[in-house]
Structure 1
Amino acid sequence: MAAEWRTVLTDVATRIRSRGPRAVPVTLGACAGILLLQLLQHLHGTHTWVERLGGVYAGLPWWQALLRTPVSVFLPDPSLPVWGLLLQVLVVFGIAETTVGPRRTLAVALLATLAGTGFARYSLWAGPHWPPGLPAHDLLVRDTGPSAAVVALGVHVALRYRAWWTVGTIVLAMVVEVVSLPNLAGYEHLAGVALVLALFTRQVASRGDHPAARHPR
């Protein structure tokens, strides 16, 4: 696995050395947004507005969920420490942005988040008796944060570089998570990964791409 990522990290280092912070504007903006939203959601006067702008729930109408998704990606869980989340975003978003470009990074992040939201709605509709349904009380929580985007971006970059061991390790870890402890976040991570795998398979089938040969922008 280390050999697979040597090329990736070399490309990341080269781009950052050549452009500095300008190489990762999306990543830096995402980290700043997470810090700002974390602060605002803990202030009494702005908490309600944060909920209205980015609070996504499985029971929301689709159009509201879609409008709130761009903010929800960067709205952290208020009960969890934000520093670990910031580190994940800084590393994974930064690697993605310097290897596949800012537009694709944002697109994958948003699509993975929407895939997770779609799963939550399916599970709420299907109920716990239809696989992979979850109990209603597990689905009526606020469904925000960049974790699904982080996992999907990791798989996306690994696929672009043909880092098969990395892809397999991430997928296996997500499967083990939902099998050992079924939870909404785990299933949403799998939904994001499944979307990325489907898009990659379609791209390869339609264009015969060899992603390791170049870095699309």
Structure 2
Amino acid sequence: MANDTVTDRPQGPAEGGGHGGEPGDPVGGGDGPTAGDLVRIGFSSPGPGPDSDSKSHPDSNPDSNLNAESESGSDSDAGSRRNPVVRAAVAVGRTFVRDMVVFFSVPVREVRTKKLMAIPATVLCVLTIGVLWILEMNRPGGLAFVIDIAGVRQGEPIWQLLPQLPLSLFAPAPDLPAWGAMAQVLIAFGIAECWLGWKKMIAIAMITSAVTSMAARLMVYASNWLHIGTPQIDNFQVDTGPSVAVVSLLIYLALRLRTYWVVALTAVSMGGEAAILPNLAGREHLVAISLGIVTYFLLDKWWPAWRRRRIERATAD
């Protein structure tokens, strides 16, 4: 019974009757002899023969098999831990997954809860690209109209170029499909809007597009004066599309969130494009990467530090 005092009196099978445990115990409960007791009193486990040696028959000793398997498993685990290539690959994979989870966490949550109402400015930008594309394709004189209001050319006068800058962000590039521009804006602008808000997202995109066009104009001047920069034919190319704003927003947001895999993938892809296709668009993408980095330092480093010093001086006075 449970309240009996434990004594030194041995309890053999005769007292327990072979069924000393509770119902449902597979081997008769804890009062019966154990395997270690049987070995100590001279009983041997069944084997292939009376004279068989446990060393010659490894299957007869399951404990040795378990020990061997555990030792081999521990050796393999230790080997994988000691292998620097495996450790480096695991570390890289973990950082990549971490960056992707951080970068997409808020946009996925916002879109799941609010649907398209989470990115109203992005939807409006996509619709603007679609309207300009329809005007280019389906109305007589539509292409000339879109070029007049949004088709930036570096060779035209500056007073004619400035009014075209805002809509040049949404006019599809002539050498790329419109659905590609709409997909870029939907993904990049949507992620930025969920993290930054629509006002900051639009401001960064507009300013980046305008500054990039001005930088392209400087490259054209450098080509005329110093014989470096863009070729002369770039003076007459239509410079439109949202790609520079997309690149700048991705770089800025990735630096802000410290998701350096996104920074690396964006920079490498744009740098590879500029190396393979050394045209005006490729050079503008490199400028957009630089603008994303500058925007990060201006908005997230220098501006907060300046405000903090200003508050400290005001409180000290």
Asked whether the two chains share a fold, i.e. TM above 0.5, the reply is yes
TM-score, scaled relative to structure 1: 0.87
Query: What does residue 7 of structure 1 align with?
Result: 102
Q: AA paired with 1:18?
A: T
Shift of the 131–110 alpha-carbon distance from structure 1 to 2, 3 Å rule, reads farther
| Cα displacement string for residues 93-149 of structure 1 (whole angstroms, at most 9, x for unaligned residues) | 111111111111111111221122112211211117848601111332000010111
Query: What does residue 103 of structure 1 align with?
Result: 199
Q: AA paired with 2:162?
A: L
Q: AA paired with 1:207?
A: P
Shift of 1:175: 2.3
| 3-state DSSP of counterpart to 2:152 | coil
Computing the radius of gyration over CA atoms, which structure comes out larger, 1 or 2?
A: 2
The answer on 1:197 being equivalent to 2:266 is no
Query: What does residue 90 of structure 1 align with?
Result: 186
Q: Within 5 Å, which residues of 2 pair with 1:137-216? A: 137-203=233-299, 204-208=301-305
Query: What does residue 134 of structure 2 align with?
Result: 39
The answer on 1:26 being equivalent to 2:129 is no
Shift of 1:150: 1.0
**Conserved? CA contact 1:112–1:193, under 8 Å:** no
Aligned residues: 209
**Conserved? CA contact 1:158–1:166, under 8 Å:** yes
The answer on 1:122 being equivalent to 2:230 is no
Structure 1 CA distance for aligned equivalents of residues 257 and 220 of structure 2:
36
Question: Which stretches in structure 2 are left out of the alignment for 5+ residues?
Answer: 1-95, 307-317
**Conserved? CA contact 1:27–1:90, under 8 Å:** yes
**Conserved? CA contact 2:152–2:165, under 8 Å:** yes
Structure 2 CA distance for aligned equivalents of residues 77 and 110 of structure 1:
16
| Cα displacement string for residues 27-85 of structure 1 (whole angstroms, at most 9, x for unaligned residues) | 11111111110110122233322122111110222233221111110100244322222
**Conserved? CA contact 1:158–1:167, under 8 Å:** yes
**Conserved? CA contact 2:252–2:295, under 8 Å:** no
**Conserved? CA contact 1:8–1:99, under 8 Å:** no
Shift of the 113–132 alpha-carbon distance from structure 1 to 2, 3 Å rule, reads farther
Runs of 4+, deviation exceeding 6 Å = none
